[in-house]
Chain A
Amino acid sequence: MNKLSSLIKGIILLLAYLVVQLLERQGVLLPYHVQILSLCCINVILVVSLNLINGFTGQFSIGHAGFLAIGAYASAYLTVVWQAPFLFAIICGGVLAGIAGLAVGLPALRLRGDYLAIATLGFGEIIRVIILNTDAVGGARGFSGIPKYTTFGLAYLMAIFTVVVIRNFVTSDYGRACLAVREDEIAAESLGVNSTYFKVLAFTIGAFFAGTAGALFSHYLQYMAPTPNQIGFVKSIDILIMLVLGGLGSITGSIVAAITLTIIPELLRGFAEYRMIIYPILLIIVMIYRPAGLLAGNELSLSGITQFVKGARAHGNHT
């Protein structure tokens, strides 16, 4: 049953990709739409990786854009200055972000709650200021002339890879330990779970994926500016909003929220000044009616959907 459902999911994902490719070739989907879809995939990676830290391990990090920045700039430097292959640059970006995650996580994760939030916020700003003052990556001018290597196919594949790895991590022994730390750190410690180890582990994995998302992002936009809304705290907050809206601790929730919140501002673009009023109102409405997020810690699954459909049908038959 399990194998079968994985196969079905695989086929659905492949079909989705083929449909996008076909529609693009037919001219139904314009480069504009494909670009938005690529951005959706990048945001999915960012939100799902933050979910591992904030949702599953229960730490409150608001410096995720710092890892994105490391991945974005490191990979861009590799492809522009050293003409490195893109895939290698993505991995390097991810690994460097992971190392930074480890370096920050070791001291910072001894802190809890508000203190951790402030420490990660500080970390994010440090990264931004370092980039701002590094002439090799353009400094305050920004890094321009990055080749456009990010295709929809690649972003899509990376997003699937991220989701699969993080889902498997969460359902493994390690993931259970992370969940235990989230639920009650003292109880987990008393059962022999080394809480610092698992917190740092989750943090490092999250940072790694944020770094790969950064690499995809810089080769998608072709220009990185060290502004707060590009790699600073504004970006971190954007990712956090997507996460909270989707529901902490729900991978499918993160995916749905990342995609929705990437597309909505696009749909609202015609409203000019009112756009940034309508968008927050939508967020407020969701938070009032779904305070724990869209999926509130639950997952969407194939069997869940089939059962829901069956239930609806059965219900329909009764009335």
Chain B
Amino acid sequence: MSHVKLKTMFICLMLVVALAVPGFAQEDVIKIGLITSLTGSVATYGQSVRNAVTMGVDDINAAGGINGRKISLVILDDKGDATEAAQAARRLIDRENVAMILGPVITPCVMAVAPIAQAAGLPMLTPTGTGDQITSIGDYIFRGAYKDSFQGRIMAQFAAENLGIKEAAIIYDVANDYSVGLRNAFKATFEELGGKIIAEESYSTGDTDFSAQLTSLAMRNPESLFIPDYYSTAGPILMQARLLGLDSVMLGVDGWDSPDLSALAGGFEEGGYIVNHYSADVDSEVTQNFIARYTEKFGQAPDALAALGYDGVLIMASALEAAGSTDPEALKHALGTVGDIDAATGVINMDPEGTPIKSAVILRITGGKWELVDRIDPIGR
């Protein structure tokens, strides 16, 4: 091959490359990584989040993307396991070069991913992690839900002020961070508001017989009983409490929100109150629109996790829009400052601390259905 031929080929090659590069730039997408639990013991949570996030991202892309750039979503499973979540995070950061991480879903996974994102200087937003300590890992860590302690405070506030309850008893899981955190917050606020905690009992994760603790509580006959746990435990406690003659007002948390609660509590959950992230009864356009489209698309009504997952996408989208680029610094700043986001769980205002300022709803179970009782705005943080 002659030199001239080589030269021509080289020039041609350069031309092709030069032409191709802007071509790539026009197809520029914003890559977002989602870490969620598609397998393992909390798979239903993770699948709800996955469904809602994909729906949210499809909406954004259908509407033309963000500042003209489409979003491409990389979804990785973490099996609800902290080690796996950490691997997934490294993969998203190193191999997929994502602009931002959404997820993981449960607090232990978030706690394993957060130091990695913080060290890499990449913003992350967990739509659902409620553990208090999450956002203290660093300034790149954000969440879309409220903290456990906030939920406990809201319930105490509602019980003391709206229901006029003076005495409360608590039964909680000492082995579960979620339950312990809620109990601490509830107790502190309730006492602050002049209420009295007359009795406390505890158990460990996996226990199924609570009759000893409940008998002791029944003797004190408390006006109300706070049960900060997931539906799988709260259900049996409710049933056993009523069978032992406790007729207190039952107070619960977002963990009660499950279609299975009724079967586990044997109908005794009737009349109980819970704090939750959102209510299907809220007549905001965004909420109703979200519920209708989710139900149509996935054949089931969205749960609170789905709503939070969808809101996570909305927060991310407004932050990306406000930042105007995927520069981590700008994005971090935007995530901490965007506000007035009309989302499925209400109006969200982000805070540089990492936790949004948003209202909670109080639901009451009436005739087997969750009914909206009140919307409570936070007092302080």
Contacts and interface: CB of A to CB of B under 8 A. Distances in A.
Interface of A: 30-33, 35-36, 39, 129, 132-133, 139-142, 144-145, 148, 221-223, 225-227, 229-230, 265-266, 269-270, 272-273, 275-276
Contacts of A221: 82-83, 86, 112
A140 B82 contact: no
Contacts, number: 99
A273 B38 contact: yes
B94 A225 contact: no
B90 A133 contact: no
A30 B40 CA distance: 28
Nearest to A230: B82
A275 B77 contact: yes
6 contacts: A133-B174, A144-B115, A222-B116, A230-B82, A270-B76, A273-B43
B95 interface: yes
A230 B108 contact: yes
Interface stretch (B175-183, B236-244, B270-278): B175-183
A265 B115 contact: no
Name the 4 nearest CB pairs between A and B, nearest first: A30-B94, A32-B94, A225-B108, A140-B177
Contacts of B159: none
Given A132-B175, A144-B137, A225-B108, A269 B77 contact: yes
B91 interface: yes
Contacts of A36: 87
Contacts of B81: 229-230
Contacts of B75: 272
Nearest to A133: B174
Contact of A276 (B39, B76, B115): B39
A133 B175 contact: yes
Contacts of A33: 94
B115 A148 contact: yes
A144 B111 contact: yes
Overall SS of chain A's interface: helix
B143 to A, nearest CB: 15
A142 B77 contact: no
Nearest to A33: B94
Contacts of B177: 139-142
Interface string B160-193: 0000000000000011110011000000000000
B112 A275 contact: no
A33 B108 CA distance: 23
A41 to B, nearest CB: 14
A279 to B, nearest CB: 9
B83 A230 contact: yes
Contact of A223 (B38, B47, B87, B112): B112
B111 A223 contact: yes
Contact of A266 (B47, B80, B87, B174): B87
Contacts of B83: 39, 221, 230
Given A39-B83, A133-B175, A227 B108 contact: yes
Contact of B87 (A39, A225, A230): A39
A266 B84 CA distance: 9
Interface in B66-84: 75-77, 79-84
B199 to A, nearest CB: 21
A229 B79 CA distance: 10
B131 A140 contact: no
A23 to B, nearest CB: 13
B84 A265 contact: yes
